[in-house]
Structure 1
């Protein structure tokens, strides 16, 4: 039946009748698919519940707290009322927040670049045939496997002002005339923490890049050698382009892990001296568990979450591009 009386811009009677029927068919097909895959959903349910309790709930709770009054040391009669964006304003007005943000970005840039460069150099060496290569490959992974606290305690002894081996070696090499408190001075504490981070983290990059190197066909190198390419030219023209998909993923993974780095710097310096090594994670820790201002800590945590999400999205795009390539 023709609906000639339908007003312009309004759906016809036939269209109005088709929409509920279409929605019904959609929900029926969804219910049918749910019944067909109910075993899979039952297996996934415990994991989904665990992720919801351990990951999603804390994030949502922290987001809620960032808009509430949560100064535990100064309780008020109203409990935890909503204060709007006051906590975010307090974070933005804090000079220590911007200082910690700058330190965090410097820490990320230096450590990620050094870990990646050392990783690719180590990978190239481990990909070269030599006697005992299998043993060396096993030994390289040790720094990454050692717990952070153990690593930090060893380096604290090595950087010690009086008895540290680092001072002893540098003085004997005439690089230093007097011992230096590497972890106790503002000029050297952050760089010392970066050295520890690089030493512990570069084996991961090396192993991942080594796997990428082993996937490059040897024919490419043979063709480049026939064309007269030097070893360096082969590295820049064959190795680096072939490693690009793996390199992007490794680089982004290193960034994501370094954004949330806390243990190494906190064990080494506690964020000092004079907040010279206070990463954003340590700023959040101090706001929450030193000043007991959980609202401020939650607001700063949302900034950290935003940074992590940005790099996570880039990582997911990189992995998808690698799969489609």
Structure 2
């Protein structure tokens, strides 16, 4: 146990798992993205170099997909982190029934994604959906086809559903971070006449900022990978207005039967995720140097 190899022995099982179930499939996907491979006959593939990437980036549909993905990810991160922070600040205060409120706020996160998508779809149904009926009752025109079949309303509906499911996790994590804010500093600032906004800016924010950065990074990666909710609610429609990278990947692989093109789209997603992670680390290090 005193050997210098002991730490590596403990790391070996996790490293083996990552290598077998993540590194090898990733390398296979990289190879697949440079081939023309049909889903119905995957053993016969033809090496075509960068043709899949050239065809994908030349497609106007894929450019729309990238734009939709960017809007979806940014809106989910800003909406989930922002609403989660507000809820965490409210739950951090003292009020009757605080324990019950903290328990109830976790319900959307605890609900399975498939159940959330199905319930949201029923509530937004054009004929009997309660949300559709409520909007029509107050004079909001959602069209005869309903919200999810409306190109202008489908993406906002999915965004609101996603944020509703994600914000409880953010709230719980940030509530835990708020517990570490020194109460004596808050009390000292309040005694000096600082208002709540100034206390949050000077005392609270520097403490919870690393947690906010980490949770924003996690939300970004999860939003890039989110599939079941979008697929069950709209399948990427109408007119491709809710088609994200993972939806496009699935369509290429299982509808068009083109595994090579699907792998190329998947690698684009991997590169975007890596850029986000590296960018996040650079921003974090710059913030740490400024603080120091």
If the length of structure 1 is used for normalisation, what is the TM-score?
Answer: 0.81
Matches within 5 A, 1:28-47: 36=3, 41-47=8-14
More relative contact order in 1 or in 2 (CA 8 Å, sep 6+)? 2
Of residues 90, 102, 125 in structure 1, which corresponds to 2:55?
90
CA deviation after TM superposition for structure 1 residue 317, in Å: 5.7
CA distance in 2, matches of 1:75, 1:213: 52
Q: Quote how far apart the aligned CAs of 1:260 are.
A: 1.2
Residue-by-residue CA offset, 1:173-198 (whole Å, 9 max, x unaligned): 34458766111111111111001100
Partners of 2:34 and 2:124 in 1: CA distance: 43
Task: Show the counterpart of 1:117.
Answer: 82
- 2:47 match: secondary structure: coil
Deviations 1:199-258 (A, max 9, x none): 000011111111111111112222221222222332333322332111111111111111
- Unaligned regions of 5+ residues in structure 1, if any? 1-33
Counterpart CA distance in 2 for 1:117 and 1:164 is 28
Return the match for 1:135 from 100, 115, 123. Answer: 100
Give 2:38's aligned residue. 71
Relative to structure 1, is the Cα distance of residues 322 and 150 closer, same or farther in structure 2, using a 3 angstrom cutoff? farther
Q: Which residue of 1 aligns with 2:229?
A: 264
Aligned counterparts of 2:240 and 2:141: Cα–Cα separation in 1: 26
Which segments of 5 or more consecutive residues in structure 2 lack a partner in the other structure? none
> Where do 1:1-325 residues align within 5 Å?
36=3, 41-72=8-39, 79-176=44-141, 181-315=146-280
Instruction: Report the structure number with the largest CA radius of gyration.
Output: 1
- The Cα shift of 1:92 comes to 1.2
Give the superposition deviation at 1:315.
4.7
Q: Distance in 1 between matches of 2:174 and 2:229?
A: 24
- Give 1:39 deviation, angstroms: 5.7
Deviates more, 1:63-72 or 1:289-298: 63-72
Q: Is the 8 A contact 2:143 2:150 kept in 1?
A: no
- Evaluate the alpha carbon distance shift between residue 253 and residue 38 of structure 1 in structure 2; reply closer, same or farther with a 3 A threshold: same
For the residues of structure 2 that align with 1:236 and 1:37, how far apart are their CA atoms?
45
Q: Please report how far the alpha carbon of residue 69 of structure 1 lies from its aligned counterpart in structure 2 after TM superposition.
A: 1.9
CA distance in 2, matches of 1:129, 1:277: 41
Contact 1:122–1:206 (CA<8 Å) still a contact in 2? yes
Decide whether aligned partners of structure 1 residues 187 and 54 sit closer, same or farther in structure 2, where only a CA change above 3 A counts. Answer: same
Shift of 1:282: 0.6
Cα separation, 2, equivalents of 1:274 and 1:291: 17
Equivalent position SS for 1:157: helix
* Counterparts in 2 of 1:292 and 1:176: CA distance versus 1, 3 Å: closer
Greater Cα shift, 234-243 or 83-92: 234-243
* Structure 1 residue 307 displacement after superposition: 0.8
- Checking the alignment, whether the CA contact within 8 Å between 1:65 and 1:298 is kept in structure 2 is yes
Identify if the C-alpha distance between structure 1 residues 177 and 110 changes in structure 2 by more than 3 Å, giving closer, same or farther.
Answer: closer
CA contact (8 A) 1:101 1:279 kept: yes
Size of the aligned set, in residue pairs, is: 290
Q: Deviations over 1:51-85 (max 9, x none)?
A: 22211111000000111121346999xx3232111
SS where residue 35 of structure 2 aligns?
coil
Shift of 1:291: 0.7
| Distance in 1 between residues matched to 2:182 and 2:4, nearest whole Å | 41
